[in-house]
């Protein structure tokens, strides 16, 4: 049986750990609220960009031939670019595991794949996997931290992606990120950014017929695509960051609860050991007194 000193040491250790997990829970809660405010503040602008693109498609007819962003490539050996958003560190439950598992499923398909990252956990994971997939290309110059999403980074990534696709360096561009379903649940998703599909813009409010776009509908639409990609990327970055903090909140709340249960068990054990020690001392005193009487 453990000694009283060992049990006290374990109790103090668990108390210290519980303070850390509780502090991390509160910090993650604050960061998640801040992230949600950011996406709510910027959503109207990007909704307007998306609505403008839908208006152009509704009034200018079929742009799939004249606009290069609708270009499609037949065949299985496509050059694909994946932007994978994970966290910078762990302690977030299964958050990173869900993303890397989904990305692995997509990358397993035939094709020459290039990887871009937001979040160092994803980069570190696929760096270890690269020895089994030497055909994977890591674009290290486009590996950025996931903490505190900023607009300029989404702009930089969107311009790079649009340029690569426009110059036909890649045939398809995918985004792998975590979408928050509600306040308690999130889901890893893989969405195609390019080539665009006119069906993606159906259901948006269309402008009245006769709208004039200068210098041409094709030019206005083409100029709008990087802004549209920026909106999608920034929204995904913020939503992934919020989902990360939500996952960390749940993980730390569970860890704090487990620490409380351990403290209860250790307190009971401490009391039993202490009671046994007291009983043993009383027995020894009584036994010594009886021996002297004899």
Would you call 98 helix, strand, or coil by DSSP? helix
Distance, in Å, from the CA atom of 9 to the CA atom of 108, rounded to the nearest integer, reads: 49
Token couple for 175: 């985004």
What is the span of the domain harbouring residue 42?
25-250
Q: Is residue 271 domain-resident?
A: no
Please answer whether residues 226 and 159 qualify as being in contact, where contact means their C-beta atoms are separated by less than 8 angstroms.
yes
Residue indicated by tokens 């829970």: 25
Taking the model in full, what pTM does it have?
A: 0.80
To the nearest 10 degrees (0 to 180), the angle between helices 217-293 and 95-107 is 130
Distance, in Å, from the CA atom of 119 to the CA atom of 143, rounded to the nearest integer, reads: 7
Give mean pLDDT in consecutive 10-residue pieces for the chain, a chain of 294 residues: 79 88 85 78 73 72 66 72 90 87 83 86 85 77 84 90 88 89 81 81 57 75 83 87 86 87 87 82 74 68
Q: Is residue 34 domain-resident?
A: yes
Distance, in Å, from the CA atom of 282 to the CA atom of 270, rounded to the nearest integer, reads: 18
List strand residue ranges (DSSP E) for 104-256, in order. 112-118, 137-144, 172-180, 186-194
- pLDDT on residue 210: 62
pLDDT tens per residue, range 134-166: 777 888 788 888 888 888 899 999 999 988 888
- pLDDT on residue 60: 66
Sign of the CA dihedral with 204 first, then 209, 212, and 217 last: positive
Q: Is residue 262 domain-resident?
A: no
Cβ-count burial 181-213 (b if 16+ within 10 Å, e if not): eeeeebebeeeebbbbeeeebeeeebeeeeeeb
- pLDDT on residue 99: 93
Q: Is residue 272 domain-resident?
A: no
> Number of folded domains in the chain?
1
- In the chain, the N- to C-terminal Cα span, in Å, equals 34
Q: Is residue 111 domain-resident?
A: yes
Q: Is residue 160 domain-resident?
A: yes
- pLDDT on residue 110: 67
- pLDDT on residue 65: 57
Q: Is residue 12 domain-resident?
A: no
Q: What CATH number is attached to the domain comprising 41?
A: 3.40.1380.10
Q: Is residue 167 domain-resident?
A: yes
């Amino acid at each position: 049986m453990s000694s009283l000193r060992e049990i006290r040491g374990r109790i103090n250790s668990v108390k210290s750990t519980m303070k850390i997990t509780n502090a991390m829970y509160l910090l993650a809660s604050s960061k998640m609220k801040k992230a949600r405010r950011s996406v709510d503040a910027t959503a109207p602008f990007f909704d307007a960009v998306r609505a403008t693109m839908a208006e152009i498609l509704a009034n200018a007819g079929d742009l799939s031939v004249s606009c290069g962003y609708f270009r499609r490539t037949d065949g299985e050996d496509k050059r694909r670019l994946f932007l994978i958003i994970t966290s910078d560190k762990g302690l977030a439950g299964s958050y990173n595991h869900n993303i890397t598992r989904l990305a692995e499923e997509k990358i397993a398909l035939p094709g020459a794949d290039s990887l871009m990252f937001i979040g160092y956990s994803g980069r570190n994971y696929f760096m270890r996997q690269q020895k089994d997939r030497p055909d994977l290309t890591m674009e290290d110059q486009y590996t950025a931290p996931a903490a505190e999403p900023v607009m300029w980074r989404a702009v930089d990534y969107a311009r790079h992606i649009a340029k690569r696709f426009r110059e036909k360096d890649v045939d398809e561009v995918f985004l792998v990120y975590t979408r928050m379903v509600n306040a308690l649940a999130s889901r890893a998703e893989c969405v195609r950014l390019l080539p665009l599909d006119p069906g993606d813009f159906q259901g948006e409010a269309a402008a009245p017929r006769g709208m004039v776009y200068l210098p041409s509908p094709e030019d206005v639409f083409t100029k709008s695509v990087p802004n549209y990609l920026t909106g999608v990327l920034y929204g995904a970055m913020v939503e992934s960051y919020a989902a990360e903090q939500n996952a960390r909140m749940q993980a730390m709340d569970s860890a704090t609860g487990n620490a409380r249960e351990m403290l209860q068990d250790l307190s009971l054990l401490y009391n039993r050991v202490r009671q046994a020690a007291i009983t043993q001392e009383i027995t020894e005193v009584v036994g010594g007194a009886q021996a002297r009487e004899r």
